Amino acid sequence: MKRLASDLLTKLESRTATTAVIGLGYVGLPLLVEFARAGFCALGIDLDRAKVEAVSKGESYIPDVPESDVRTAVKAGKLRATTDFSTLRDADTINICVPTPLRKTKDPDLSYVVSAVEQVAKHLREGQLVILESTTYPGTTDEVLLPMLEAKGLKAGEHFFLAFSPERVDPGNGQWTTRSIPKVVGGIDADSTMVAAALYRQSVDKIIPVSSTRVAEMVKLLENTFRAVNIGMVNELALMCRSLDIDVWEVIDAAKTKPFGFMPFYPGPGLGGHCIPIDPFYLSWKARQNGFESRFIELAGHINAGMPRFVVERIAEALNSVAKPLRGSRVHLFGMAYKPDVNDARESPAIDVAQLLLRSGATVSYSDPFVPRLDHGNLDLEAVPVDRALADGIDCAVITTHHKTFDYDAIVAKSPLVVDTRNALKGVRAPHVFKL
């Protein structure tokens, strides 16, 4: 073991190191709080002054992070936040947790990663550990980060350490948290893997070292592509069952009683969130660069992207059953977040459904206790309280996100038509209720 690696390992195991996290979103803030809870001096860096000010006051804007945890860490002097990247020179470890969206062409957009790495390179010193957590294509750490960080003469594995560890956060999941989810770690060399694993070992229950950054990068893409492909399959099955007059939800419930060889996936109005709609395209893009055609991934993406249009067709069918056209009808969406009980509407299929409804001439409104306002493209809406929405008189209620807080009995009782895209009304049989 090299001296620098040994020195850093000592700091990590004694928890005297300073840990920095760039990007204080749904991945970065929980990680930063876990580092502070473990006893490290934890430094959060973000360009968003509102986030920095909130953390500095001991406030949490991420539902999965209890405000009491942030407040306790700040009061103990273990956690602070800033917009000043020059403070990176004081850090022993630097975790990069910034967004990696797609361009409109479905190509990877690494601009946030590149901007963060430029700042890290500017303040890089000997003995530091840099870890990328942002989801990306295999080869990003070696092909993008490594040359940028080595540009001023320091050598990875000799003067500093470099690794990749995929974030596995599942917003809204109270059982699996940053601490309890096993952490995959792959470095550019053995010492980088070793010190990165040592960092996480102080605050995460289980560490899974792998042989390289490319393997670690591929792990995350496999996980989410697996979900996307299987959701695409069950969405296609839902379309097929509709044409065969079969209840797809009953089929899935019966199939999942098999104790081996089957894992249930569920259809819905489309894919949403920060990972599953995006990550498979990172993989298919990289495959194309190497002359490989990823047919399953592309097909699943096509099916999943078409689900919002199918939902609108079901809404039109429901309205037609009472001799009403879609144009001019008042359609109210219950849920704008991409999944239940979270405040994240990124890539939410409910947004696509709302836009398609507007283009068809419908009047659109929505209720969501977690998303009070939506400003996206041609949508500029404020959430309407459920009681008011039901009292105002709507033509069709559409359950797009199955929040636990919704009173589904009231929705069924007070809505002339209901289209349920999430099986929130499981077991309900009524002529005015339409399933996906």
The angle at the Cα of 276, spanning 66 to 175, to the nearest 5 degrees, equals 35
Query: What is the identity of the amino acid at 333?
Result: L
* Residues sharing a CB contact under 8 Å with residue 304, sequence separation 6 or more, in sequence order: 228, 231, 232, 235, 270, 271, 277
Contact 383, 354 (CB under 8 A): no
Report the relative pairing of strands 418-420 and 396-399 from DSSP bridges. parallel
CATH code reported for the domain at 3-211: 3.40.50.720
Per residue in 318-359, pLDDT tens?
999 999 999 999 999 999 999 999 888 988 999 999 999 999
For the chain, the distance separating the N- and C-terminal CA atoms, rounded to the nearest angstrom, is 58
**Residue 217, number of CB atoms within 10 A of its CB:** 28
Per residue in 278-289, pLDDT tens?
888 888 888 888
pLDDT value for 105? 77
Neighbour-count burial for 79-109, b at 16+ CB within 10 Å, e otherwise: bbbbeebeebeebbbbbbbbbbebeeeeebe
DSSP 156: B
Q: Assess whether the region 3-211 and the region 237-435 belong to the same CATH fold.
A: yes
pLDDT value for 374? 93
> Residue 426's Cα: distance from chain center in Å?
27
Mean pLDDT over residues 18-46, rounded? Answer: 96
Top CATH class of 237-435 equals: alpha beta
pLDDT value for 1? 62
The angle at the Cα of 190, spanning 185 to 196, to the nearest 5 degrees, equals 40
pLDDT value for 346? 87
Q: How confident is the model at residue 293 (pLDDT cuts 50, 70, 90)?
A: confident
pLDDT value for 189? 97
CA atoms within 13 A on the CB side of 114: 7
Write down the catalytic residue from 41, 97, 275, 396: 275
Does the structure show a pLDDT above 90 at 27? Answer: yes
Full DSSP string of 206-250: -EEE-S-HHHHHHHHHHHHHHHHHHHHHHHHHHHHHHHHT--HHH
pLDDT value for 413? 95
Domain ranges of the chain: 3-211, 237-435
Residue 41 a catalytic site member: no
Query: What is the identity of the amino acid at 388?
Result: R
pLDDT value for 273? 77
With CA atoms as reference, report the closest residue to 109 among 119, 97, 99. Answer: 99
Per residue in 130-158, pLDDT tens?
999 999 999 999 999 999 999 999 999 99
pLDDT value for 419? 98
Name beta bridge partners: 434. 419
Does the structure show a pLDDT above 90 at 436? Answer: no
